[in-house]
Chains A and B, each alone.
Chain A
């Protein structure tokens, strides 16, 4: 099979997966700027989830350094090595 034919076959196969734009998506995307304040409010209102190593004030680097709940001093020392 030559390259041209193979590429045509691939295009045809992929075309079968294409879907028309769903009717509600335009409105959903239009509403995106209004969602952000809502999401921010929800996030700030929720406490960190159970078992989470992070708190809202904790950055990623802090989270990496923070011991897991239940870790002993020995574990923390071991983790530092």
Chain B
């Protein structure tokens, strides 16, 4: 899996961010947004756990990005900049609603589970969904997009230490949930 951070500098994007004609700016924005669409949609769908909401969040983010397209000066910062807009759009939506409860599960049937049991994945999925939005976002950026704490900090507008703390808390919570499920499972099988 290629993480967001790994994509930086790999894709040959030479956008005309400012200056140029309106048609050139549009073409640059079109190329920029379309090349990243699949990746940011995937990210949004994991953060929000809802395909429809992820679609709206990505659309909102694209609108925001276009409105500020002319302000963007540093081409090296384009990926973190766009990711941050997407993350902010997702965070706003997460805060406006309660995440889908575990009993409803994800909208699509889960794929094959190569690592743990289905029980573990279900338990973890529910626990991840119950995390505070900022903690969930940090976890998704770390484990879905393979970003380092510094890269996550750049995309969430926080300090690296804060990201590390959120990841630590989330891992501790996940571990405790899994341990508890294992104990319950062992107790039930006696």
A residues within 8 Å of B by Cβ? 1, 3, 5-19, 21-22, 24-26, 28-30, 32-33, 35-36
Main secondary structure of the interface of A (DSSP, over half): helix
Which of the residues A3, A12, A14, A30 comes within 8 Å of B30, measured between beta carbons?
A30
Question: Does B34 make an interface contact (CB < 8 A)?
Answer: yes
Closest A residue to B114 using CB positions = A12
Pick 22 A–B contacts, CB within 8 A, sort by A: A1-B175, A1-B178, A3-B171, A6-B171, A7-B143, A9-B124, A12-B113, A12-B121, A12-B124, A16-B125, A17-B46, A17-B125, A18-B45, A19-B42, A22-B55, A25-B55, A26-B37, A28-B55, A28-B59, A32-B59, A32-B63, A35-B63
Q: How many residues of B contact A (CB 8 A)?
A: 44
B residues within 8 Å of A by Cβ? 26, 29-30, 33-34, 37-38, 41-42, 45-46, 49, 51, 54-55, 58-59, 62-63, 66-67, 106-108, 110-111, 113-116, 120-121, 124-125, 128, 139-140, 143-144, 171, 174-175, 178-179
